[in-house]
Amino acid sequence: MEISTLATYHCLAFVWYFFIAYSITHIRTEERPSEVFLYGGQWKYLTVLNLVLQAIFYGVSFLADVLRLIKKLRCAKCVITSRDLLFSVLAFPVSTFVSISFWTLYIYNRELVYPKSLDGVIPLWLNHAMHTAVLPFAVLEILAMPHRYPAKKKGLILLGFVTFLYISWVLWIYSVTGEWVYPLFALFSPAGLAAFFTGSLAVIISFYNFGEFLNRMIWGQSKFCF
């Protein structure tokens, strides 16, 4: 893609994700079902955190495109490094995990992840924007341009660390409120929950590897060390 075309795409994607994140975080208090959006607000949900992550990624991508267009190559190099790290370690695997895990559990039993009471609060289009559109956006980004992946060990350490932070946040909320972020977690014993979290980490790592595989198959080997 031409840089100008990429800049237009990244700008539109940034505006889209900013709009979606704004929409979900500004649901009026009186409209919220009593069993959701309590302690931690929307910020306890991986879906909402992913929307913010995607907005940041596309904002950084747009900045990189603009710097390349105006020939600020020294600054662009640093921003491009940040862009590729964000995409490879977080933006692609997290958005893929959010979309696939949500719809898998939704089909099995929606009450475990998305109670029916939310239908009167979150319109259908917004649900699909949060849980469906994120996946094709991630795949389109790989098709649009190559991304340099970090050394495998460093990439997985960073991904594991961010996953650990989110799990710690979930456990902290439970310790304070006695309620799980997702009703699904209440079905597990402590050992079962540990196994579930471990399995989820394995799945998100597989999505990281899949993104790297797609990038390499389409664009060839493209790595950087830091």
Residue 170 CB partners (closer than 8 Å, separation 6+): 44, 180, 181, 185
DSSP state of 87: I
pLDDT for residue 33:
52
Q: Give tens-digit pLDDT for 122-175.
A: 899 999 999 999 999 999 999 999 999 999 999 999 999 999 999 999 999 999
How far, in whole angstroms, is CA 163 from its chain's centroid?
11
Q: What is the pLDDT of residue 36?
A: 53
Identify the band that residue 226 occupies on the pLDDT scale cut at 50, 70 and 90: very low
Query: Distance (Å, rounded) from C-alpha 200 to C-alpha 34?
Result: 28
Query: Is the Cα dihedral 18, 24, 27, 29 positive or negative?
Result: negative
What confidence category does residue 45 fall into, taking pLDDT thresholds of 50, 70 and 90?
A: very high
Q: What pLDDT sits at residue 115?
A: 87
**Taking the domains of the chain in order of start, what are their residue ranges?**
5-25+41-219
3-state secondary structure of 191: helix
DSSP-derived 3-state class of residue 154:
helix
Contact 92, 208 (CB under 8 A): yes
Percent of the chain with pLDDT over 90: 71
pLDDT, residue 222, reads 53
pLDDT category at 119 given cuts 50, 70, 90 is confident
Q: What DSSP element (H or E) covers 184?
A: none
Residue 74: its pLDDT value, please? 78
* pLDDT tens per residue across span 174-193: 999 888 999 899 999 999 99
